[in-house]
Amino acid sequence: MSGDISTLFYRHPGWIDLRDLYPGPDPLWLREINVPFHLEHAGDVLYLQINTVADSNDEPLAHFAQRVHDEIVATKPNKVVIDLRQNRGGNNTLIVPLIRRIIQSESIDRSGHLFGIIGPATFSAAQNLSDDLEKYTDILFVGEPTGSKGNAYGDSRKIILPKSGITVRAAIYFWQDWLPMDKRDATIPQIPAPLTFEAYRHKIDPALEAIVRYKEQPSPK
């Protein structure tokens, strides 16, 4: 059920959204939730939102990954944020080019400069993407625990029961991104920044604010 949480943030015809009662634009994470992925600058932060692990109608995810790398080289942002809060999954075979381009962005792939925002709707292929970012980069996760664990069943297939017509979904693969002894229930952010009712109402993004405020702590001598 966790993936369905993200659909609560889509506007629905005839419904009044609480955030519409307050002035100002939506926070970044709610402005482009209907597109597969996009990037934009917010001060010295390059903000990437990936809402599904899939190609868009206009651009493959691999091409977007190259654009991200080129943008980092051209603009030299101080921090890069990869927002996966709205990402309920997709095709995990498309992940590798994005991981490669992040690793190749050496100015960003270091502690205190690369951040991932995760939450309870970060699920399925988005969990796989989080796993690879955790494994191969120096990312810091911010936000709330993901909706899955790294070792989990997935790729469900639909079965319609012949008598009742009830739909049953059965997972057919076991994905093991974590070591077998890793017993975590989710990917846990190093910087907790839960979304609160008041923050949502006032169009505040606690996760992005925590990233903007974050300063790398000096190593002990």
Would residue 85 count as lying in a domain?
Answer: yes
Distance, in Å, from the CA atom of 85 to the CA atom of 147, rounded to the nearest integer, reads 10
Distance, in Å, from the CA atom of 176 to the CA atom of 126, rounded to the nearest integer, reads 14
CB 62 within 8 A of CB 95: no
Q: Residue 9's pLDDT band (boundaries 50, 70, 90)?
A: confident
How much helix, strand and coil, in percent to the nearest 5, is found in the chain?
30, 25, 45
Would residue 74 count as lying in a domain?
Answer: yes
Would residue 181 count as lying in a domain?
Answer: yes
Would residue 167 count as lying in a domain?
Answer: yes
Percent of the chain topping pLDDT 70: 95
Beta sheet of 140-143, edge-to-edge order: 37-42, 45-50, 79-83, 114-118, 140-143, 191-192
Strand ranges (DSSP E) for the chain?
37-42, 45-50, 79-83, 114-118, 140-143, 151-160, 167-176, 191-192
The pLDDT tens digits of the residues spanning 15-59 come to: 888 898 889 999 999 999 999 999 999 999 999 999 999 999 999
CB 176 within 8 A of CB 219: no
Would residue 46 count as lying in a domain?
Answer: yes
The pLDDT tens digits of the residues spanning 70-124 come to: 999 999 999 999 999 999 999 999 999 999 999 999 999 999 999 999 999 999 9
Report which of 46, 134, 143 is spatially closest to residue 86, judged by C-alpha positions: 143
Range of the domain at 184: 2-213
Would residue 218 count as lying in a domain?
Answer: no
For residue 4, what pLDDT is reported?
57
- For the chain, how many structural domains are there in total? 1
Would residue 139 count as lying in a domain?
Answer: yes
Find the CATH number of the domain harbouring 93. Answer: 3.90.226.10
Report which of 34, 142, 26, 41 is spatially closest to residue 84, judged by C-alpha positions: 142
Would residue 81 count as lying in a domain?
Answer: yes
